[in-house]
Structure 1
Amino acid sequence: MSSLTSLKMLSVEEIDRILDDAERLYEVRHVGSRNGHVIANLFFEASTRTKCSFEMAQKQLGIDTLHFDVATSSVNKGEGLYDTAKTLESIGCDAFIIRHGETRYYEQLKGLTVPIINAGDGSGDHPTQSLLDLLTIRQEFGLFRGLKVVIVGDILHSRVAHSNIEVLERFGAEVYVSGPEEWIDEDIPREKRLTIDEAVEIADVVMLLRIQLERHDGEMLSNPDDYLQTYGLTMEREKRMKPHGIIMHPAPVNRGVEIDSSLVECERSRIFKQMNNGVAVRKAVLVRALHQKEAPVHVV
């Protein structure tokens, strides 16, 4: 069995194989045809797209899902993540899908012998979101090398940004960032930082991000209502994009904040295509996780 905690643990060739598998698994649907596997979904943070697309992927592959309700679990009695997971492993779960607010939470789970699929860890990584983003870009352009991708918004707090910057650069894309200076990681070079007006002129892909309010510890822009005009994708800026340029967003979308509401479903938008790709990618990741019989959690 194969864990997936970060795309850093995979080579470019391995990532390509997952994307190829996702393309093949688009139409695979065995709803109601059980295969004997049981996967526990442990979501310690709110989720719609990731949680529901994993559940849909499980249904289409005939995998039984054990739903874990944090609110009614022994977590509220002080039980730690490791003991929770070890309990579920002991009663027969074949793999775990975990979203947790702690960055690199999976380092606590080295004693497990079933796969961990990271559905988001704090401000760290979101590997399956990156995979579906890669698939969306590959479907559009056929390649990554030389593409200019600008990630716009709350870079510092975004696990999507952190995952995507690393993997897109490995695939040969030119990755830039745009947003408030206080929300950009200090280690991102100055030459990689653009204003939103510079970004729309050069980008093949404009990838917008939600403001991660839950990770800001109270600090915000002095004038949050001005965010769209200062840092967001307005209708006027969209008109200055390259003819073939596309708009992406991991969602949920704050309409009228990071993007004008009318652009969410415009011709350039691939936002709902990303969601559709999420099911196929997560099917591929599940098949990979359950393919081999045993492997310890891999921590990078």
Structure 2
Amino acid sequence: MPNNIQLDSNGNLRHFLTVEGLKRQTLTDILDLAESFATVDAQSVKKVPLLRGKTIANLFFESSTRTRTTFELAAKRLSADVLNINIQTSATSKGESLLDMLHNLEAMHCDMFVVRHADSGAAHFIARHVAPHVSVVNAGDGRHAHPTQGMLDMFTIRRHKGPDFGALRVAIVGDIMHSRVARSQIHALNILGVGELRAVAPKTLVPPEAGALGVHVFHDMARGLKDVDVVIMLRLQRERMQGALIPSGSEFYQLYGLDANMLAHARPDVIVMHPGPINRGIEIDSAVADGEQSVILEQVSNGIAVRMAVMSMCLGRAPDAGEGA
């Protein structure tokens, strides 16, 4: 029996809380299934019946636009019923505990909770206390993990660079210390066998465990971007910083901002990614963010297909051969 809380007794995905600890085949299955869902938006009726009769509750204790919206669209594309719980006006604002709220939602026959929370480990805590029929998907918890964002980034890379991650050199640039997205990207890239993974940031924004994760650390932007195939930019997460870790946004941009001159150090066919929200003129120049090498808006679109794949796998409804997407 698997000891990973994310897997059921047969080794199938029940929760999706983190990429860490999952096998390469599981990640590949998510990417392959997402590929089958990517064509749904081109259909006249943008729905498949896989989760008809299922109820999915979005519990976002942190503000979000792209993540919450794409999760909602993904659930609706799968024909599920969706509850968007307004946490600010829910009974938790009256003192109800988190577990009591969850148990009440379970009593309403919800099948999945999509959880975004400011506290690291919140999704794991919820997964340990839900009823056996309920799945939990982590939509971002503190500085810990954002696994569906990590997977939609892998999906975007694979669509542009092919399935052989071993041939790729990838650079993650910016506030790696406070980024749950970066942690999920690093785990996913390592599991998928990336050729070389680089972290490019000032010393104050690189986590001490980066080297142990097989990441090559660069503090010089030009050297860090030399001959890379993929550049993933991250925003400065000031809301999670304690103390003055950088002098100013303008100085950070001078040293670590991505403009056309800096991007020229990468390979000619490099793709530029960013999980959003973008801070133009702080971590990336508008000409690059909107340029021909940018796949940032594709990441948003790809999020729907990847989240459809994760939801259907967790609820045991991946398409059969004759049921295709």
Pick closer, same or farther for the CA change 1:81–1:241 going to 2, 3 Å. Answer: same
Report what 1:200 is aligned to.
225
Residue 15 (structure 2) pairs with residue 3 (structure 1): yes
Residue 139 of structure 2: aligned partner:
119
Residue 94 (1) aligns with residue 119 (2): no
- 8 Å CA contact 2:56–2:83 kept in 1: the answer is yes
Aligned pair partner of 2:53 in 8, 12, 36: 36
Task: Say whether residues 1:13 and 2:25 are aligned partners.
Answer: yes
Partners of 2:101 and 2:21 lie apart in 1 by 25
Cα distance, 1:288 vs structure 2: 0.8
Contact 2:58 2:85 in 1 (8 A): yes
TM-score of the pair, normalised by structure 1: 0.92
101-110 or 185-194, larger mean C-alpha shift = 185-194
Q: How do 1:32-71 and structure 2 match up within 5 A?
A: 35-71=52-88
Rounded to whole Å, the distance in 1 between the matches of 2:239 and 2:216 is 26
Which residue identity does 1:286 align to in structure 2? Answer: M
CA-atom RMSD in angstroms: 1.9
Deviations 1:106-154 (A, max 9, x none): 2322121210000001000111001101111111111201311110000
Once the two structures are superposed, residues 138-186 of structure 1 have per-residue CA deviations (whole angstroms, 9 ceiling, x without a partner) of 1111120131111000001000111111221122211110112111101
Separation (CA, whole Å) in 2 of partners of 1:38 and 1:259 = 39
1:224 Cα offset (Å) = 2.1
- Does residue 213 in structure 1 map to residue 238 in structure 2? yes
Matched residue count: 292
Determine helix, strand or coil for the equivalent of 2:226. Answer: helix
SS in 2 for 1:291: coil
2:166 aligned with 1:145: yes
2 CA distance for matches of 1:115 and 1:214? Answer: 30
Decide whether aligned partners of structure 1 residues 227 and 53 sit closer, same or farther in structure 2, where only a CA change above 3 A counts: same
Bigger relative contact order (CA 8 A; separation at least 6): 1
> Aligned partner of 2:167: which letter?
G
The residue number in structure 1 matching 2:310 is 285
1:170 matched to which residue of 2?
191
When structure 1 is superposed on structure 2, of 170-179 and 75-84 the one drifting more is 75-84
Q: 2:289 aligned with 1:264, yes or no?
A: yes
User: Take 2:251 and 2:174, find their aligned partners in 1: how far apart are those partners?
Assistant: 13
Name the structure 1 match of 2:210.
Answer: 188
Relative distance call for 1:220 and 1:79 in structure 2 (3 A) is farther
Aligned counterparts of 1:255 and 1:219: Cα–Cα separation in 2: 21
Give identity over the alignment, percent. Answer: 39
One-letter code aligned to 1:287:
S
**Is residue 146 of structure 2 the alignment partner of residue 129 of structure 1?**
no
TM-score using structure 2 length: 0.85
Query: Is contact 2:234–2:274 with CA below 8 Å preserved after alignment?
Result: yes
Deviations 1:27-59 (A, max 9, x none): 332289981111000001111111111111112
- Following the alignment from structure 1 to structure 2, what is the Cα–Cα distance between the partners of residues 144 and 33? 30
CA distance in structure 2 between the partners assigned to 1:178 and 1:240 by the alignment: 13
Structure 2 Cα separation of the partners of residues 120 and 180 of structure 1: 24
Query: Where does structure 2 lack aligned partners over 5 or more consecutive residues?
Result: 1-12, 41-45, 318-325
CA deviations 1:50-83 (Å, max 9, x no partner) are 1111111112111111110011012212333222
* Whole-angstrom CA distance in 1 between matches of 2:206 and 2:98: 31
Aligned to 2:125: 108
- Matched residues in 1 for 2:51 and 2:257: separation? 45
Q: Using the TM superposition, name which of 27-36 and 161-170 deviates more.
A: 27-36
- Partners in 2 of 1:221 and 1:95 — Cα distance? 40
Out of 89, 93, 105, the residue aligned to residue 72 of structure 1 is: 89
* Residues 157/8 of structure 1: CA separation in 2 closer, same or farther (3 Å cut): same
Cα distance change, pair 33–103 in 1 and its aligned pair in 2 (3 A): closer
CA contact (8 A) 1:32 1:59 kept: no
Question: 1:247 is paired with a residue of what secondary structure?
Answer: strand
Cα displacement (A) at 1:197? 0.9
After alignment, is 102-111 or 37-46 more displaced? 102-111
Q: Which residue of 1 aligns with 2:5?
A: none
Report the 3-state secondary structure (helix = DSSP H, G, I; strand = E; otherwise coil) of the residue aligned with 1:96.
Answer: strand
